[in-house]
């Protein structure tokens, strides 16, 4: 099983790398010019110096400050103009033929966004939007994927009841840890009510000496830090729900409350209501048309998903359903940033 898993992962990465290389070459020689969008919204999470880990299930959510710097330089050379996310609709509406735009967003409010990413953006005079979940910054909710990673790194084995009786998972190797991580992710995101599943995970973590709230406090900016961040005229804060649960799995009342209360809390912290919103997880399993309507009803000018894609002027016919492009920590080459921003990889995926 570990050998097959390794082969599958290696094959997947090889296919993605090959696709990015092709897209880069196609973009260089002008192939598939019709695939190019007018704008790109980039998604980041952690920005920090890399620390090598034998087990690193969230490596795709982490890039280095050096790569961010190189990515911005590459986009600058490609002729992109950098705009704040909230300003993207107006800027594209008056764009001239051939102009291209890019916006940077960072999800979850990690402290390294201020420590490591902010200096890069400031040096290049690039606006950026940080999406904050008040449950994280106010330390009322843990970040389950961070808690789970710490737990699986520490425990030699783990006993857990996924609903059909306790099972014991061996955790001696990175392959076994990854299999356990995937099993927990299914349990939390698909099989069980999310809050209840996270509560069970947190209890298991505490039993092994890991405090999910202390881990969140260590990783995420608190209220004073957010107030300091927005003193930078390049920085904006957007809403990201309170608890970071998949909105499509919640009731109408819960979904609205998560979105509205997150905006209210951020307004109390920074002094004005956020204009932008990012759906937690952001894929089609986590976001439904109901959430798009709610975002509009609650007055958000722009709301972003994680569906991959680029922007056109028609994108803002539905400004609460905008796609984003992930800067994936597994593929940190500047030329891939240009290839992704071209839109060619997404056109290839749809064929």
Query: Which of 62, 145, 77, 105 minimizes the C-alpha distance to 276?
Result: 105
- Give the per-residue pLDDT at 26: 55
Query: Tokens standing for 32?
Result: 């598939």
pLDDT at 18 over 60: no
Mean of pLDDT values over 128-136 = 98
DSSP class of residue 131 equals: E
Query: Which of 248, 251, 304, 246 minimizes the C-alpha distance to 274?
Result: 304
Residues 221 and 114 sit within 8 Å (Cβ to Cβ): yes
Please tell me whether residue 49 adopts helix, strand or coil conformation: coil
Query: Tokens standing for 146?
Result: 């961070």
Where is average pLDDT lowest: 47-56, 279-288, 325-334? 325-334
Distance CA 156, CA 15 (A): 33
The model's pLDDT over 261-277, given as tens digits with 9 standing for 90+, comes to 999 999 999 999 999 99
Q: Spell out the alpha helix ranges (H) of 143-229.
A: 144-154, 174-186, 194-207, 212-219, 223-229
The model's pLDDT over 312-348, given as tens digits with 9 standing for 90+, comes to 888 888 999 999 999 988 888 888 888 888 877 766 5
**307-342 burial: b if 16+ Cβ within 10 Å, else e:** bbbbbeeebbeebbbbbbbbbbbebbbbbbbbbbbb
Mean of pLDDT values over 67-82 = 96
- Give the per-residue pLDDT at 344: 74
Total count of residues recorded for the chain: 351
Mean of pLDDT values over 301-309 = 95
Query: Tokens standing for 8?
Result: 């599958």
List Cα–Cα distances, 293 to 130, 256, 260, in angstroms.
Answer: 22, 10, 13
- Give the per-residue pLDDT at 314: 85
Q: Give ∠ CA 272-276-279 in degrees, rounded to 5.
A: 130
pTM of this prediction? Answer: 0.91
Q: Spell out the alpha helix ranges (H) of the chain.
A: 2-29, 65-77, 88-93, 111-112, 118-124, 134-137, 144-154, 174-186, 194-207, 212-219, 223-229, 252-270, 289-297, 334-342, 344-350
Contacts within 8 Å (CB) and 24+ apart, 318-322: 318/292, 319/89, 320/277, 320/292, 320/293, 320/295, 320/296, 321/292, 322/41
DSSP class of residue 285 equals: T
Query: Which of 262, 222, 220 minimizes the C-alpha distance to 238?
Result: 262
Give bridge partners of residue 110 from the DSSP assignment: 220
Top mean pLDDT of 69-78, 306-315, 332-341 is at 69-78
Residue 10 burial (C-beta neighbours within 10 Å; 0-12, 13-18, 19+) = exposed
The model's pLDDT over 88-98, given as tens digits with 9 standing for 90+, comes to 999 988 988 88
Element (H, E) at 172: none
């Amino acid at each position: 099983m570990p050998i097959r898993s390794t082969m599958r992962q290696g094959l997947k990465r090889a296919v993605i790398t090959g696709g990015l290389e092709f897209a880069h070459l196609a973009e260089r020689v002008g192939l598939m010019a019709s695939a190019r969008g007018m704008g790109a919204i980039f998604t980041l999470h952690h920005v920090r110096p890399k620390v090598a880990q034998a087990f690193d299930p969230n490596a795709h959510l982490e890039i280095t400050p050096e790569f961010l710097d190189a990515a911005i330089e590459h986009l600058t050379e490609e002729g992109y103009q950098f705009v704040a996310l909230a300003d993207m609709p107006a800027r594209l509406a008056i764009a001239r033929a051939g102009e291209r735009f890019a916006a940077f967003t960072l999800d979850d409010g990690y402290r390294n966004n201020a420590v490591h990413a902010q200096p890069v953006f400031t040096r290049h005079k690039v606006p950026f939007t940080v999406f904050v979940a008040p449950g994280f910054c106010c330390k009322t909710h843990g970040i389950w994927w961070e808690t789970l990673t710490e737990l699986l790194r520490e425990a030699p084995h783990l006993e857990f009841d996924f609903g059909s009786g306790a099972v014991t998972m061996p955790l001696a190797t990175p392959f076994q840890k990854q299999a356990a991580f995937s099993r927990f992710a299914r349990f939390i995101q698909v099989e069980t009510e999310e809050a209840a599943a996270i509560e069970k995970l947190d209890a298991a973590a505490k039993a092994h000496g890991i405090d999910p709230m202390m881990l969140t406090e260590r990783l995420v900016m608190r209220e004073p830090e957010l107030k300091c961040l927005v003193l930078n005229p390049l920085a904006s804060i957007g809403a990201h729900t309170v608890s970071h649960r998949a909105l499509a799995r919640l009731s109408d009342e819960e979904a609205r409350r998560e979105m509205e209360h997150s905006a209210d809390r951020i307004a109390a912290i920074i002094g004005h209501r956020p204009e932008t919103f990012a759906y937690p997880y952001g894929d089609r399993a986590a976001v439904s048309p109901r959430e798009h309507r709610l975002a509009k009803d609650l007055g958000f000018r722009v709301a972003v998903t994680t569906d991959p894609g680029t922007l056109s002027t028609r994108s803002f016919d539905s400004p609460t359903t905008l796609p984003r492009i992930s800067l994936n920590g597994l593929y940190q080459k500047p030329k891939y940033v240009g290839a992704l921003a071209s839109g060619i990889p997404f056109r290839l995926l749809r064929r």
